[in-house]
Amino acid sequence: MDYLYYLRQDKMPHIWCDGCGHGIILKSILRCVDKLGWDKNDIALVSGIGCSSRTPGYVDFNTLHTTHGRALAFATGLKIANPKLHVIVVSGDGDATAIGGNHFIHAARRNIDITMIIYNNYIYGMTGGQVSPTTPAHKKASTAPYGNPDEPFDISRLAQAAGATYVARSTVYHVGKMDNYIGNALQKTGFSVVEILTPCPTSYGRRNKEGNGVDMMRYQKENTIGIEKAKNMSAEALAGKIVTGVFVDKEQESYLNRYNEVIKKAQSGV
């Protein structure tokens, strides 16, 4: 496929560091869109603030770079106003689950017809490596110099509990799975979430002595366990492991379908 067809080539070079996984996710999104044959005019890519949230600037869709954490709120209005648009939100772990955590769970509860792709690098990359809601306990960050005292969120479990229609997790190393999950998510009606674990060598890897981007992806390769297999493993055996797979894949009425019923009721005078 022709990636350049989808990229705003005059916006290159991008801001991402060597070894950053964000660009791998971007390519996966483009492959999935290409496979679906969607018209660029019909796609809106919406983000908040962060390294991950710079993705829309590089892609030749309708692109909206909002405020930190609020992409889903803007995207909700946009989707409702123009349901023809395929609305995709990209977000970092901090953007999605710290400042934007409330919008995240409510988008899932509401089952709004949006696909959200979360670039989880366990850290606030853009601002220099502060601790995030997904930084594992005891890991170091610029604001957790003695190790993170908090427990992290499991984003996929959070999305599942909040009611999303489709939830899956992959790493950037497992490109086939990533493509598969993003492709599935884009085709779902309702709120679909794909969490992608992506290395941030600059702000996370270095401080935690996890090496460069390649080292961090090697770790992903060697420590990932499928969700089915993980079900039969003890908590000790799972320590330090990454569990990937499809957490939720169900059919449920989406927000827009529900609201169309509201309109019908209102107009029939019931």
Q: Which residues bind another protein (CB under 8 A)?
A: 11, 40-42, 44, 46, 56-57, 60-67, 70, 72-82, 84-85, 102-103, 106, 259, 262-263, 265-267
Query: Using CB under 6 A as the criterion, what x/- string covers residues 115-154 for binding ligand TPP?
Result: ----x-x-xxxxx----x----------------------
- Residue 106 interface partner, choices another protein, ligand SF4, ligand TPP, none, CB cut-off 5-8 Å depending on type: another protein
Burial 32-62 (b: 16+ CB within 10 A, else e): bbeeeeeeeeebbbbbbbbbbbbbbebbbbb
- Residue 20 interface partner, choices another protein, ligand SF4, ligand TPP, none, CB cut-off 5-8 Å depending on type: ligand SF4
Position of minimal CB gap to ligand TPP: 92
Among 95, 113, 195, 210, binds ligand TPP (CB under 6 A): 95
Burial 116-144 (b: 16+ CB within 10 A, else e): bbbbbbbbbbbeebbbbbbbeeebbbeeb
256 CB contacts (<8 Å, ≥6 apart)?
A: 79, 80, 83, 112, 113
Q: Is the dihedral of CA 32, 112, 49, 39 positive or negative?
A: positive
Nearer to another protein, 67 or 184 (CB): 67
Is there binding between residue 203 and ligand SF4 (CB under 6 A)? Answer: yes
Using DSSP's 3-state secondary structure scheme, residue 4 falls into helix
Nearer to ligand TPP, 115 or 132 (CB): 132
- Residue 132 interface partner, choices ligand TPP, another protein, ligand SF4, none, CB cut-off 5-8 Å depending on type: ligand TPP
Of 265, 245, 254, the closest CA to residue 112 belongs to 254
Nearer to another protein, 88 or 168 (CB): 88
Tell me the two tokens of residue 236: 């000790």
Q: Quick one: DSSP state of residue 62?
A: E
Among 21, 93, 111, 112, binds ligand TPP (CB under 6 A): 93
Among 6, 16, 104, 219, binds ligand SF4 (CB under 6 A): 16
Is there binding between residue 207 and ligand TPP (CB under 6 A)? Answer: no
Chain centroid to CA 55: how far?
A: 12
Is there binding between residue 202 and ligand SF4 (CB under 6 A)? Answer: yes
Neighbours of 168 (CB within 10 A): 25
Nearer to ligand TPP, 51 or 168 (CB): 51
List Cα–Cα distances, 202 to 18, 23, 29, 110, 140, in angstroms. Answer: 9, 15, 23, 36, 13
Minimum separation from the CB atom of position 54 to another protein (A): 9
Is there binding between residue 121 and ligand SF4 (CB under 6 A)? Answer: yes
